[in-house]
Amino acid sequence: MIKTKAETLRIFTAALATETNTFSPICVDRRAFEASLYAPPGQHPETPTLCTAPITVGRRVCAEKGWTLIEGTATWADPAGLVSRATYEGLRDEILGQLRAAMPVDAVVLGLHGAMVAAGYEDTEGDTLTRIRDIVGADIPVFAELDPHSHLTAKRFAAANVFVYFKEFPHTDFVDRAEDLWRIAVDTIEGRVKPVMSVFDCRMIDVFPTSRDPMRSFVDKIMRIEKDDPDVLSISVVHGFMAGDVPDMGTKLLVVTNGRKDKGDALAHELGMELFSKRGTFMMPQIDEREAVSQALAATAWPVVIADMWDNPGGGTAGDATVVLGELLARGVTDAAIGTIWDPMAVQICMAAGEGAEIPLRFGAKSAPGTGNPIDGLVKVIKIVPNAEMRFGESFAPFGDAAHIVLDGIDIILNSTRAQSFDPSLFSVMGIDPTRKKILVIKSTNHFYASFSKIASEILYCAAGTPYPNNPAKTPYRRARKDIWPMIADPHGA
């Protein structure tokens, strides 16, 4: 694998990612990828979009090493439902064709998600990685960075050399983890390490926000182990994705060591059982829409952020639920702002009417039961922004053509591209100063926390309606395993 100085190493990189909520009614075709991110070779922007960080970090690393980075397509679709078979196969084969054309290569470094499901493919990442392995052969190392809200299957485990997952939820560290991945890749290529992966099945499914304990302390602990133990190259918690009805749904603990499989196995077991012992304690307390509005109205400092946490487009829902808005309207609340309600047709109507127009409008609650009722009213169109974007860490997240309307004293953002509420710039780009509102309603489970916590006097986590299957013990799974917690009390028999 080690070449002479006269020979330039060739590294292939690409990204193919989305998160599939198999219960979501919104199917994903190629247009969904193109609306979020579709960058053919050489066209990826300077800033990464979550799962594409290995490309932007790879540019710097390869430039410093004097290596050739061969970029394939990078594409990402915002989370939704099942990916069409033609879309997945087309994008997969596009990247595989680029890899074949690039051969021979000395390594492959990928950005994946880990929870994509396509028609006919329950394990798309396993399928893609296996085909990549067939192309490059057994001796060429394959590295990938993934989202922890994913499924770790035996097929993909066997096809790759190293997986590194984001540690933080909210995912503020995707660039840092890409740096980790490339560090391991460089050390492997140059012969300093021989990475080997160990995995432990925690036999559970939970939600693990790292913005609070006990998960904050657990992540700090695994990062200390990585720093202090030279045998340990990386530790990842694969959270699992409870809205993915697939056989390998569940939480795993992954350890990458430098040739110490026995040590990695033992450490993965130890950490995995520690995680399991804290099951059911990770999630933040949740209240319904009535209690959330009551608490917000009783506040004496503002803004109060109400996180409509289960109508989260980042988890594959439509983001068009009106349950919290309906409660605000019923209580006569004003000085509140809603960001966002997904309704492309309503946005088109507002764009046709133009800024300053007063029009009758029906919007929201079109996607599925459990999302509330459509809202009818005479609204004023305040601002129209084509191709709107908000910040998300070092990158930008598009939320499509958007309209800022006012109904009964409440500012509402309607958007045409589904996106969760990452950052207060969501409001400011639409002409709303979020710091001057008493109540902000956002659609996100926890990704919002890093930025909104900086301006919020209080954050209320609201479970309103049933747009998302958030109780695994009651979710009507057909394909997911039933031998894990909370489906059964103690799957380890401790």
Q: What is the pLDDT of residues 357-378, one digit of tens each?
A: 999 999 999 998 899 999 999 9
How many secondary structure helices (H) and strands (E) does the chain include?
13, 17
In a domain, 472, yes or no: no
If asked whether residues 252 and 320 sit together in one domain, one would say no
State the pLDDT confidence band at 5, using cuts at 50, 70 and 90: very low
If asked whether residues 313 and 248 sit together in one domain, one would say no
The answer to whether residue 394 scores a pLDDT higher than 80 is no
In a domain, 427, yes or no: yes
If asked whether residues 50 and 114 sit together in one domain, one would say yes
The answer to whether residue 14 scores a pLDDT higher than 70 is yes
State the pLDDT confidence band at 219, using cuts at 50, 70 and 90: very high
Q: Give the residue ranges of DSSP H helices in 280-418.
A: 289-297, 323-330, 344-353
User: Which whole-number Å values give the CA distances from 145 to 128, 232, 233, 442, 487, in the listed order?
Assistant: 14, 17, 14, 28, 30
Please write the tens of the pLDDT for every residue from 96-128: 999 999 999 999 999 999 999 999 999 999 999
Choose among 455, 446, 417: nearest CA to 303.
455
Structural domains counted in the chain? 2
In a domain, 241, yes or no: yes
CA distance 58 to 186: 10
Yes or no: say if 433 and 394 are a contact pair by the CB < 8 Å rule.
no
If asked whether residues 377 and 401 sit together in one domain, one would say yes
If asked whether residues 204 and 317 sit together in one domain, one would say no
If asked whether residues 349 and 220 sit together in one domain, one would say no
Q: What residue type is assigned to position 487 of the chain?
A: M
Please write the tens of the pLDDT for every residue from 451-480: 999 999 999 999 999 999 999 999 999 999
If asked whether residues 263 and 331 sit together in one domain, one would say no
Strands 395-407 and 375-392: what pairing?
antiparallel
CA distance 361 to 342: 14
In a domain, 467, yes or no: no
CA distance 59 to 434: 37
If asked whether residues 237 and 137 sit together in one domain, one would say yes
The answer to whether residue 270 scores a pLDDT higher than 80 is yes
- Give residue 315's pLDDT: 94
Between the CA atoms of 318, 320, 323 and 328, what dihedral angle is there, to the nearest 10 degrees? 140
In a domain, 58, yes or no: yes
Main-chain dihedrals φ then ψ at residue 353, nearest 5 degrees: -70, -40
The answer to whether residue 405 scores a pLDDT higher than 70 is yes
Residue 353 structural domain? 289-462
Mean pLDDT of 402-423: 97
Question: Given strand 232-238, what is the order of strands in its sheet?
Answer: 195-201, 252-258, 232-238
Cis upstream peptide for 48 (omega within 30°):
no
Q: Give the residue ranges of DSSP H helices in 28-169.
A: 30-36, 53-65, 85-102, 124-136, 154-159
Mean pLDDT of 215-234: 98
Yes or no: say if 205 and 248 are a contact pair by the CB < 8 Å rule.
no
If asked whether residues 23 and 166 sit together in one domain, one would say yes
Question: 250-270 in b/e burial notation, b at 16+ Cβ within 10 A?
Answer: bbbbbbbbbebeebbbebbbe
Please write the tens of the pLDDT for every residue from 132-153: 999 999 999 999 999 999 999 9
In a domain, 175, yes or no: yes
- Give residue 36's pLDDT: 87
Yes or no: say if 339 and 403 are a contact pair by the CB < 8 Å rule.
no
If asked whether residues 274 and 293 sit together in one domain, one would say no
The answer to whether residue 3 scores a pLDDT higher than 60 is no
If asked whether residues 319 and 436 sit together in one domain, one would say yes
Please write the tens of the pLDDT for every residue from 152-181: 999 999 999 999 999 999 999 999 999 999
The answer to whether residue 6 scores a pLDDT higher than 80 is no
Mean pLDDT of 319-339: 97
- Give residue 49's pLDDT: 85
